[in-house]
Amino acid sequence: RRGAMPAMGLDCLKEQNCKQGVFKMNIVFVCTGNTCRSPMAQALAIQQAQKQGLDCNIISAGLAAYRDAGASENAIEAMREIGVDISGHRSQPLTPSIIRQADIIVPMTDQHRQLLTAMGVPAEKLRSIGEIPDPYGGDLDVYRQCRDTLQQAVTALLSQL
């Protein structure tokens, strides 16, 4: 499956890396429910990292996410249009373990950034990609706009690594 990793915490990723003697950068995209923006950003970042030859673990999580919800239908369709399959995405809440293991945490909005800061996330872990409006409940065109905004923002972020 192209473009997305199954929902999982970074503990198992770091454990696998340590067993293999590999140390990769761990990037977490964070939104509210982990069904629209952050899974699209995750998939786009995985695709872009592969293009750039970056060796990163990239996941997504939500500040108010239920565990194991699928990506929204319009998110799946908007990504399918550009050849990226996120139909297997399963949501997960942002946990203290994920925060601890993350090297970079990318909130979708300034409000998310403020909440993460209030949760004690160190400022040096946070990277802004601007304000990404929540497409939840919008039509497919709203999701396409979100996808395109995310694509530009993710490309810019990864080019700085």
Catalytic residues: 31, 37, 134
C-alpha 24/C-alpha 13 separation (Å) is 9
**Residue keyed to tokens 């939840």:** 136
C-alpha 48/C-alpha 28 separation (Å) is 15
Contacts of 141 (CB under 8 A, 6+ apart): none
Our CA dihedral for 17, 20, 22, 27, rounded to 10 degrees, sits at -20
First to last CA, the chain: 25
C-alpha 72/C-alpha 59 separation (Å) is 17
C-alpha 150/C-alpha 159 separation (Å) is 14
C-alpha 65/C-alpha 67 separation (Å) is 6
